[in-house]
Amino acid sequence: GISGQPWESNPGHPDLVLLCSGSHDSMSFDLDVNSSIVEPDQLRRFSRFCCVRKLMFRWGTTQEVNIKEQLDAGVRYLDLRIARKPKDPDPNRLYFYHGLYTRSDTVFRDINEWAELHRKEVLILSVSHFKGFDKLAATLHNYLIHFIKTLFGPKLLLKTDKPILKTCWDQGRNVIVSYDHPAYQQSALWNKIQYYYGDSMERFFVCGLNMTLPSDRRILKYILRICDSFPSVVRRSLPKLLQWVQQQNRNTPFNIVASDVVTRSGFVPTVVRLNGKPLKG
């Protein structure tokens, strides 16, 4: 089974400058193999072929369990990539995507229910991408922001608040929403959360352990393996990536480590154990 400890509610950590675990492409467990292909652009014209969609499904599914199970396992940062289906009869219905669209559009309510039941656990939601918003950008952004603010209400930690656990607990605010669009910033939404990759040496907020397949013909080396899948590739690589995180943590202060297949290879316990370890000065 999957279980996580409510480590963020530990009173020994009064500051929200903790190292927490996150899931990359958090909604990819819910991809709809019958949907059209969203990206990459080179494959969109092949959406009508079931075999191509199945390949996309197998290599786009980077998480294996649903959002509640991710949260129960100890994940506190969710990477939520928003999209609108171009021919959806409901003008305000939004989905998530990673190569394909997801089946569910209700995950925000699931997150809110979990946050309501775990008031001392602080969640960080990165809302980004907004695929298919172009023609109705203002309408869709305003709708989504209003929905988020109405749903989470007083649980939202404002951008003007000091992000420490004591403030969150005292005010009953345990949800931080980062909205990745500069034109729609306001006090209830935090700015874009910066992502850090292994080839950058600058200070960062999120350290990404996600694997990226080649964008050229070398991708065929992976996707044509009939008995393989993206989660399998990540599972084989994750132990070495976690070793890299432990080495980096000795010298560089970071806040979030986001990964694929977060419930495997001891990812969450490894990240949580890094809290409290002294940094080199």
Which of residues 2 and 123 earns the better pLDDT score? 123
Confirm or reject CATH 3.20.20.190 for domain 7-273, answering yes or no.
yes
Q: Give the per-residue pLDDT at 125.
A: 97
Give the pLDDT of residue 201: 37
pLDDT of residue 156: 98
Domain ranges of the chain: 7-273
Question: What was the pLDDT predicted at 279?
Answer: 42
Averaged over 240-245, what is the pLDDT? 81
pLDDT at 216: 59
Flag whether pLDDT at 100 surpasses 60.
Answer: yes
Higher pLDDT: 103 or 198? It is 103
pLDDT tens column, 31-51: 999 999 998 888 899 999 999
Residue 266's pLDDT band (boundaries 50, 70, 90)? Answer: confident
**Mean pLDDT over residues 150-173, rounded?**
91
pLDDT tier at 246 (50, 70, 90 boundaries)? confident
24 is catalytic: yes
pLDDT tens for 176-230 read: 999 999 999 999 999 998 766 554 434 435 776 665 655 555 555 555 566 666 6
pLDDT of residue 21: 92
pLDDT band at 116 (very low <50, low <70, confident <90, very high): very high
pLDDT: which is higher, 83 or 226:
83
pTM given for the model: 0.86
Q: What is the mean pLDDT of the chain?
A: 83
Catalytic residue among 98, 129, 146, 181: 98
Q: What percent of the chain has pLDDT over 70?
A: 77
Percentage of the chain exceeding pLDDT 90? 50
Question: Quick one: pLDDT at residue 41?
Answer: 84
* The pLDDT of residue 5 is above 80: no
Closest among 170, 163, 184, 168 to 256, alpha carbons compared: 163
Name the catalytic one among 24, 118, 129, 141. 24
**Among the listed residues 248, 123, 132, 146, the one whose alpha carbon sits nearest the alpha carbon of residue 197:** 248
Query: Which stretch of 91-105, 142-156, 260-274 has the lowest confidence by average pLDDT?
Result: 260-274
- If pLDDT is split at 50, 70 and 90, which confidence band does 71 have? very high
* 88-114 mean pLDDT: 93
Q: Confirm whether 98 is a catalytic residue.
A: yes
Does position 119 have pLDDT exceeding 50, yes or no?
yes
